[in-house]
Amino acid sequence: MPNQLDLFGDGASDADPGASGGNASVRAGRATARAGSAAAAGVDALERRFEPLRLIAHALPGSLRFGTSSWSFPGWHGLVYPRKASVAALARDGLRLYVRHPLLTTVGVDRSYYAPIPGQDLRRYTEHLPPGFPCCAKAPASVTSAARPTGAPRSADPNPDFLSAERFIDDILDPFDRDFRGHAGPFILQFPPAPRPLRLGPAEFAERLDRFLEQLPRHFRYAIEIRQQDLLCREYAAVLARHGAAHVYNYWSAMPMPGPQADAIAPESQPFVVVRLLLRPGAGYEEQREAFAPFDRIHAPSEPMRGQVIDIVARAVARRLPAFVLVNNKAEGSAPLTIEALASGLVDSLQRVAGSTQPAG
């Protein structure tokens, strides 16, 4: 495995591999010097960018964590990473640079939605993370999808492992318990919309979710993300409360905005708060990805969404509840920049509230 310096070009060499003798050594030395200078410049520029963000981070409550849905985006060079690197290199080794960003204090692990994560990968992540840094991993689609996850769109074959606690434990929870327990944040159980023949009504979904949660280990935290609006009902909220699970306030194409979700399930009623910002209502995933790549700037800021998220988080902070805000690039165009805007707005909001409660002089 390449070391960190080689990965980000610090030790790169463009010398002719077929050359020999003193000229090849000189060329290799010059190439290394050029790469080292470019890398140092990238690090210095990123440090200057981080300086005001550290002030914002210092003003945030310790119970709040911001993070992105994943971390392997080459377009984040100059925002999170000091220089360009490939998707594969960032997926393998990018976490150790991701955690240096002052506002990125959690991260989503999306890959677990598609397949179990090998123990060696979990142990490598542990080596790249500071102690206690929580990661929010997704439960696998093999457990949360009513249709069999085949990779083909609109599959209507029933999934025999839908809401199988045994498979969730075997594929995800046991490996995390063994190799990653010190970094396990809330597990995200994302329930995609089911094909109409397999769609459960609100009461039946709540009943099956109840039986599923009853079988899970109690030393982990679970956050439920629904993407079918009619499931957001009293029976569902009661099941979450019974098992100490949390509702995910999501910004998603087919769901109400986060604010109306908070009207239905109050953040103050939750054991912890999870917000996931993914797609504006009515938008398509592929459409947004094509429009927003390489995710290096904000394309579609949503002030209503930001205001609602700040309100939800402020309510959690007022109750001293742990809160996790996870942002996808497809929400506005660049997850790190959305996080910076949210963090700044939240600090302003909290300072206004604090100022209004000060006794008159």
In a domain, 26, yes or no: no
Do the domain assignments include residue 131? Answer: yes
CB 317 within 8 A of CB 63: yes
pLDDT for 34: 53
Residue in the structure block whose two tokens are 């990125």: 104
Domain tally for the chain? Answer: 1
Q: What is the CA radius of gyration of the chain?
A: 22
What pLDDT, on a 0 to 100 scale, did the predictor assign at position 156?
Answer: 83
Asked if the structure places residue 33 within a domain, the reply is no
Residue 6 lies in a domain: no
CB 277, CB 249: distance < 8 Å: no
Residue 276 identity: R
Q: Is the pLDDT of residue 175 over 90?
A: yes
Q: Cα(265)–Cα(268) distance, rounded to whole angstroms? A: 9
H/E stretch holding 339 reads helix 335-356
- Look at residue 99 and tell me if it is in a domain: yes
* pLDDT level of residue 268 (50, 70, 90 thresholds): very high
Residue 224 clears pLDDT 80, i.e. is over it: yes
CATH number, domain containing residue 315: 3.20.20.410
> 156-159 contacts: CB < 8 A, separation 24 or more?
156/195, 156/197, 156/198, 158/198
Residue 284 lies in a domain: yes
- 166-170, 323-327, 330-334, 356-360: range with lowest mean pLDDT: 356-360
Q: Is residue 158 part of a domain?
A: yes
Supply the DSSP string of 75-118, one letter for each residue. Answer: GGBTTTBSS---HHHHHHHTHHHHTTSTTEEEEEEGGGGTSPPP
Confidence tier at 5 by pLDDT (50, 70, 90): very low
Q: Which two tokens stand for residue 13?
A: 């060499």
Q: Could you tell me the residue range of the domain that residue 243 belongs to?
A: 49-356
Residue 44 in any domain: the answer is no
What would the pLDDT profile of 25-56 be if each residue is shown by its tens digit?
A: 656 555 555 555 667 888 999 999 999 999 99
Dihedral angle, C-alpha 149, 154, 157, 163, nearest 10 °: 50
